Amino acid sequence: MSRRTVSPGDLGRRIAYHRKRLGLSREDLAERAGMAPGFVEYVEESAASITEEALLRLAAALETTPDDLLGAGMDQPPGQGSAAAHPVLHALDPEECMRLIAPGGVGRVAFSGPSGPTVFPVNFKVHNGAIVFRTQYGGPMEKAVRTGMVGVELTIGFEVDHIDDVNREGWSVLVQGPAHHVSASEVAEAASTEVEPWAGGERETYISIVPHNITGRRIRGF
C-alpha cells in the first residue's frame, strides 16, 4: 500500500478538527475507522505520513474526503464541482437556521460602507439568541455600523453558509438585525462567549446582532 507524505502536523490538525466537529472522541473515531485508538492519537499528534488505506478509512469515518484531510484545494473557494443531477432548494424555518449556526465559526457581516455595499468575514459565537463578534474600534466596519446616536442602531446583514462538495449540497442562513455596540457594563457577558478573531490585532470592541429577520435555504440533490 502506498504512503502519502504531508507536512508534519497538518494532517493531524485536520483530523482532530473534523473529529471534534462531529463530537467524536479518539476512541469513537478509532471504532468508526476500524483502527486502534493509539493509532488515531499518533496520527493526530505526530504523523508525517500515512498509508493510502488508513487515509481513506479516516476520511470516511470523518464524513469528508482524503483531499480535504490533506489540505488539497485550500486556496480554492468551495463549490468548484458540478451541481447535483436534480437539485432541490428548500426554505428553512428560523429555528432550523439558528440551530445550524449555533456552533459558531466564520460568518459574513454585510453593511453599507463609505464606498458602497461591503462584506467582511468575522469569527462569531451565538449567545442568548444573539450573534456576537469582535472588531477594531475605529476600524472601517466599526465606524460604518456606529450611528453616533444613543438608542439608535443600524440594521445590518449577517450570513453563514456551508458547502458540501462531496455530496453536492449545502445551506445558507441570513440574519438581519441591529448592530449593538456592547457597552462597558455588558463586556463581561460578551467576553464569556470566548469568541476569538482570527485576524488578530486590537479587536476588543464587541458587537452583537439581535436577529429580527432570519431566513435560510438548503439545497440537496435527488
Q: Using alpha carbons, list the distances in angstroms from residue 80 to 103, 163, 221.
A: 25, 10, 16
Q: Is 153 helix (H, G, I), strand (E, B) or coil?
A: coil
* Residue 169 β-bridge partners: 164
Q: How far apart are CA 13 and CA 19, in angstroms?
A: 10
Say whether domain 3-70 belongs to CATH 1.10.357.10. Answer: no
- Only one residue has cell 476512541, namely 27
* Residue 161 β-bridge partners: 172
Q: Using alpha carbons, list the distances in angstroms from residue 100 to 20, 79, 140, 173, 203.
A: 16, 19, 29, 8, 26
Report pLDDT digits (tens) over 108-130: 999 988 888 999 999 999 999 99
* Structure confidence at residue 128 (pLDDT): 92
Q: Options 3.40.640.10, 2.30.110.10, 3.40.30.160, 3.30.70.870; which CATH number does 87-221 get?
A: 2.30.110.10
Report pLDDT digits (tens) over 141-195: 888 888 877 778 889 999 999 887 666 778 999 999 999 999 889 999 999 999 9
Q: Would you say how long the chain is, in residues?
A: 222
Residue 102 has pLDDT above 80, yes or no: yes
* Structure confidence at residue 3 (pLDDT): 46
List the chain domain ranges. 3-70, 87-221
**Range with lowest mean pLDDT among 40-49, 68-77, 188-197:** 68-77
Residues above pLDDT 90, as percent of the chain: 48
- pTM of the model as a whole: 0.67
User: How deeply is 113 buried, as exposed, middle or buried, from its count of CB atoms within 10 A (0-12, 13-18, 19+)?
Assistant: middle
